[in-house]
């Protein structure tokens, strides 16, 4: 029998604690079980289309799981997942899809789920359940897209979301807000502060309107079109107008003949609407 070199030890066996070394078919345990039998723990050279090389095997033995890698399922389709040690065997867990942005209540990562979006500390069975924050993927018959949810989670000014429908068929617009009590995302018509009086600014079908519009003592007649010369006014721009009377940057506008021009938008002199400012 020819002498073989000592093979390097890649890690400890999760079943018996013995040494794991490379073998002809992959990696195997050299240890023995308590009953005196040889331990059967092994990792094949190829699993789910992934070449199992030293670094990933070491990571699996050391941490009990690997990073997500590109795998191939039995239909030959690619998917992302990671290897885990599960009850003394190598198993696979499908990758989870995390959104950009964090849970507004606990700072956990947000996952895409069957019903929408949910905090990892609420729905991931591998973590202790310390949070219940979730957001339905469909609110009032309208899908909340991933990018809309990510913008909301970023804390930056949102875009107005159109196309929600009430139970009795009325279409309305809204933005997202966190209901801390119910630990979920709900809708609100309050989209900012009135640039004229600082009261609540509400979103209507075609306009932004001050909550004090019909106030009997001190009415505020601020009401602005949501669209002006081909430009959709953003909540960011309304906030800029409230703070300094005009938008930070000129916005792109369109004339009736199709030509494009740039102007700042600002509060009208009588403070009742938003207007295109002349230089």
Residues in the site for Zn ion, rule: CB under 5 A? 13, 15-16, 18, 29, 31, 39, 41, 103, 105-106, 108, 119, 121, 131, 133, 194, 196-197, 199, 210, 212, 220, 222
Report d(CA 172, CA 165) in Å as an integer. Answer: 6
Enter the DSSP assignment of 259: -
Nearer to Zn ion, 140 or 184 (CB): 184
Residue 199 or 250 with smaller CB distance to Zn ion: 199
Q: Give Cα separations from 234 to 30, 156, 166, 205 (angstroms).
A: 66, 12, 24, 15
Q: Which of 186, 184, 162, 163 is nearest to 113 (CA)?
A: 184
- Cβ nearer to Zn ion, comparing 121 with 174: 121
- Of 139 and 197, nearer to Zn ion (C-beta) is 197
Distance CA 77, CA 41 (A): 28
User: Phi and psi dihedrals of 55, rounded to 5?
Assistant: -60, -45
CB of 184 to Zn ion, least distance (A): 11
Query: What's the token pair of residue 215?
Result: 């106030």
What does each C-alpha distance from 78 to 25, 71, 82, 145 come to in angstroms? 24, 6, 13, 24
Provide the minimum distance between the beta carbon of 62 and Zn ion in the complex, in angstroms, as a whole number: 15
DSSP SS3 for 244: helix
Smallest separation, CB 261 to Zn ion (Å): 29
Closest distance between Zn ion and the C-beta of residue 243, in Å?
A: 15
Residue 81 or 108: the one with the smaller Cβ distance to Zn ion is 108
* Half-sphere exposure (Cβ direction) of 86: Cα atoms closer than 13 Å: 9
Nearer to Zn ion by C-beta: 19 or 146? 19
Burial of 225 by CB count in 10 Å (0-12 exposed, 13-18 middle, 19+ buried)?
middle
């Amino acid at each position: 029998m020819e002498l073989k070199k000592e093979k390097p030890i890649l890690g400890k066996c999760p079943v018996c604690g013995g040494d794991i070394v490379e073998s002809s078919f992959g990696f195997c345990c050299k240890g023995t079980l308590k009953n005196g039998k040889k331990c059967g723990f092994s990792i094949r050279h190829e699993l789910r289309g992934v070449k199992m090389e030293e670094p990933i095997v070491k990571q699996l033995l050391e941490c009990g799981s690997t990073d997500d890698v590109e795998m191939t399922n039995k239909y030959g389709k690619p998917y992302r997942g990671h290897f885990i040690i599960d009850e003394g065997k190598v198993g696979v867990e499908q990758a989870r899809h995390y959104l950009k942005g964090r849970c507004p209540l606990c700072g956990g990562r947000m996952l895409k789920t069957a019903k929408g979006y949910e905090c990892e500390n609420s729905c991931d069975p591998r973590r202790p359940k310390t949070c219940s924050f979730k957001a339905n993927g469909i609110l009032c018959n309208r899908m909340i897209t991933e990018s809309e949810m990510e913008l909301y989670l970023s804390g930056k000014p949102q875009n107005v979301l159109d196309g929600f429908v009430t139970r009795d068929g009325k279409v309305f617009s809204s933005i997202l807000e966190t209901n801390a009590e119910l630990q979920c995302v709900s809708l609100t018509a309050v989209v900012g502060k009135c640039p004229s009086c600082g009261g609540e600014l509400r979103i209507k079908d075609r306009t932004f309107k001050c909550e004090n519009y019909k106030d009997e003592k001190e009415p505020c007649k601020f009401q602005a079109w949501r669209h002006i010369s081909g430009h959709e006014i953003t909540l960011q721009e309304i906030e800029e107008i409230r703070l300094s009377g005009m938008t930070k940057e000129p916005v792109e506008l369109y004339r009736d003949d199709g030509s494009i021009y740039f102007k700042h938008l600002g509060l009208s002199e009588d403070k009742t609407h938003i207007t295109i400012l002349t230089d």
